[in-house]
Structure 1
Amino acid sequence: MVELEDLPNVGEKTAEKLREAGFADMMRLATATAKELAVKAEIGEGVAEKVIEAARRAEKIDFETAFDVMERRRDVGRITTGSKGVDELIGGGIETQAITEVFGEFGSGKSQISHELAVTVQLPKEKGGLDGECVFIDTENTFRPERVEQIADAFGLDHEEVLRKIHIARAFNSSHQILMAEKINELIQSGVNVRLVIVDSLMAHFRAEYVGRESLATRQQKLNQHLHALQQVANTYNVAVFLTNQVQARPDAFFGSPTKAIGGHVLGHASTYRIWLKKGLAGKRIARLVDSPHLPEGEAVFKVTTDGIVD
């Protein structure tokens, strides 16, 4: 294994700065930008470029064949949502190395699925989990440990042990939210087996802090930075990223849905899978897959019960 000190232009002092800034992992270093590395590790941008280039050579980052990509995808894991119908809709569950976004109106089940996944990621692989732990970035004070206990009990798990494997970050504004996402690298490098990152909800702070068209460009730049950090975590550590998102009315919509997800094209392009949650009759919820790189659009029906998400 290549150590930081083995890279050209990296002495003990620089290596220490890199580790303190959360760049102890070679792949994390190889996928950083020069500007990001220079700012966080407090080194010159020229030095940062050389260090990144050396890390890319060490990781052999270059062109690869489609066969190599297929082989790498064999490492992709999936986390059950608790609903067989929803799992089948999205190809077997929430996927690692990808960003899955669910959006819908209030009460459509977004936070309920978040709590469910925080538990099911801890299940063994043969039961739909990844034997892993969860990071839960809570922006709207929606996380409830009591709900986790109910779901854990339904799966026959020790709810105290389950709660110990969910790492909560209460984000108080968009800058704090971005910072907590960037700190996930440090948590993983410290030895925590994080396999799922949840942000509930992604856009709440951005929506509240950046009001009006004049602030839209700044908001989208910060959002892009945030999504880039989450995508890096997903790709570097084979982690699933699950985002909940709000919707807004479309007053000009004469046909189709009267609402749309917020976040614009930046979020639309960053999300690997997009799922629209809707309220149905008799307490049912409808999950509609609206975007995927390889799966067809479709719908699945599920219910939210005391035990969690069920068909």
Structure 2
Amino acid sequence: MIATLKAVEASQLQLVEREDIDDEEDLFESIDKLISAGINTGDVKKLQDAGIYTCNGLMMHTKKNLTGIKGLSEAKVDKICEAAEKIVNLGYITGSDALLRRKSVIRITTGSQALDELLGGGIETSAITEAFGEFRSGKTQLAHTLCVSTQLPANMRGGNGKVAYIDTEGTFRPDRIIPIAERFGMDPAAVLDNIVYARAYTYEHQYNLLLGLAAKMSGEQFRLLIVDSVIALFRVDFTGRGELAERQQKLAQMLSRLTKIAEEFNVAVYMTNQGCNSKLFSFLIFP
């Protein structure tokens, strides 16, 4: 029975590349389209070097931030934004159009039927899901399970996509992925190959890793970003009440970046946090 399941899934669990989702409407427009709109190739390269790979992502930046990119003047930024606005419609749409967009949202199973029901079907793409609770309450274990379930095909309540994992506390254990993959009848080696992992050591490093994800997500199909945990490095890098305001500002920028990634690339963002006295952990979902 297990051998049959593995044989069936072997043909199903091949992660699709961009050409395999031709039936879906493109969720984002490549930044390269600016070239055909009259923008200099060199200026487009400067945007990519700054971590901007889609027109959608470009429109999520303020002009102040864009002029901060070396080599881009205010006049160039105005011209770039004007060209991007013609490619991407970020203005008003009808409720019917909004409903159609919501149909692209995927709910990824957590591997637990009871937890899926609690979350309305699983972890949602285009949204942030935060699990918070005491140490050893299962937050990281769920992250490991999601690394596998995200790679399941849609008919098995998966996301049929890759996973990006940012580890701020050194808790990622690839050996724990193996039994979870076997439980779902998947090839552990293939599952591990479809997880891109990075260890962050400072809050600045953590933010820069998020900026670097744009290049990967614009070229490959990702469905999940894990940050475990989101605030650990902020507790270390900022101390005392005197730095509280700066810490909150930097944390807000981090959360804003996570929200933009979720919406720009239609990925689920799962982040953990320690901040609950209960032995059970809770969830917050930011659509």
- SS class of match (1:198): strand
Query: Aligned partners of 1:42 and 1:232: how far apart in 2?
Result: 24
Match of 1:11 among 24, 27, 40: 40
Instruction: Tell me by how many angstroms 1:237 deviates.
Output: 0.8
Q: Which has the higher contact order (CA 8 A, sep 6+)?
A: 2
Partner of 1:205: 233
Counterparts of 1:3 and 1:111, CA distance in 2:
39
Summarize deviations over 1:92-128 as a string: whole Å, max 9, x none. 0000000111100001111001101011100111112
Question: What TM-score do the two structures reach when normalised by structure 1?
Answer: 0.78
User: 2:250 matched to which residue of 1?
Assistant: 222
Match of 2:108 in 1: 79
Q: After alignment, is 72-81 or 60-69 more displaced?
A: 60-69
Q: Deviation per CA, 1:260-301, whole angstroms, max 9, x where unpaired?
A: xxxxxxxxxxxxxxxxxx43xxxxxx45456677xxxxxxxx
Identical amino acids, percent of aligned pairs: 42
The answer to whether residue 270 in structure 2 is matched with residue 242 in structure 1 is yes
Counterpart of 2:137 in structure 1: which amino acid? Answer: S
Summarize deviations over 1:216-250 as a string: whole Å, max 9, x none.
Answer: 111111111111111111111111101101116xx
Q: 2:221 aligns with which of 174, 178, 193?
A: 193
Q: What is the aligned partner in structure 1 of residue 132 from structure 2?
A: 103
In 2, the alpha carbon distance for the partners of 1:81 and 1:92 equals 9
Show CA shifts across 1:35-94 (max 9, x none).
222334541244324322331232122111222211110000011111111111111000
In 2, the alpha carbon distance for the partners of 1:208 and 1:87 equals: 34
| Aligned-partner SS, 1:100 | strand
Whole-Å Cα distance in 1 between the matches of residues 160 and 284 of structure 2? Answer: 29
Which digits, 9 at most, give the CA deviation of each residue in 1:171-190, with x for residues without a partner?
Answer: 0110000000111101112x
Q: Quick check: 1:32–1:52 contact (8 Å CA) kept in 2?
A: no
Q: Which residue of 2 aligns with 1:268?
A: none
Q: Which of the residues 132, 136, 139 maps onto 2:161?
A: 132
Q: Secondary structure at the match of 1:64?
A: coil
| Cα gap change, 1:45 to 1:218, in 2 (>3 Å) | farther
The residue type paired with residue 201 of structure 1 is S
- Alpha-carbon distance between aligned partners in 2 of 1:213 and 1:42, rounded to the nearest angstrom: 38
Distance in 1 (CA, whole Å) between partners of 2:83 and 2:70 is 16
Cα separation, partners in 2 of 1:291 and 1:230, compared to 1, 3 Å = closer
Q: Do the aligned partners of residues 20 and 292 (structure 1) sit closer, same or farther apart at CA in structure 2, a change above 3 Å counting?
A: closer
In structure 2, the residue matched to 1:303 is none
What is the DSSP-based 3-state SS (H/G/I as helix, E as strand, rest coil) of the residue aligned with 1:183?
helix
Distance in structure 1 (CA, Å) of the matches to 2:246 and 2:74: 24
Give the alignment's TM-score, normalised by structure 2. Answer: 0.84
- Asked if 2 retains the 8 angstrom alpha-carbon contact of 1:21 and 1:41, the reply is no
2:206 is aligned, of 174, 177, 180, to 177
- Is residue 51 from structure 1 mapped to residue 83 from structure 2 by the alignment? no
In structure 2, relative to structure 1, the CA distance for the partners of 1:246 and 1:91 (3 Å cut) is same
Distance 2:282 2:41 in 1: 52
Amino acid in the other structure paired with 2:37: L
The CA distance in 2 between the partners of 1:207 and 1:33, in whole Å, is 28
Following TM superposition, by how much is the alpha carbon of 1:209 offset from its aligned partner in structure 2, in angstroms?
Answer: 1.3
Conserved in 2, the CA contact under 8 Å of 1:139 and 1:200?
Answer: yes
Q: Distance in 2 between matches of 1:104 and 1:121?
A: 23
Specify which structure has the higher proportion of strand: 1
Paired residues of 1:89 and 1:289 also in contact (CA < 8 A): no
Match of 2:177 among 148, 151, 172: 148
Give 1:23-42 correspondences, 5 Å limit.
23-40=52-69, 42=71
**Alpha-carbon distance in 2 for matches of 1:289, 1:160:** 31
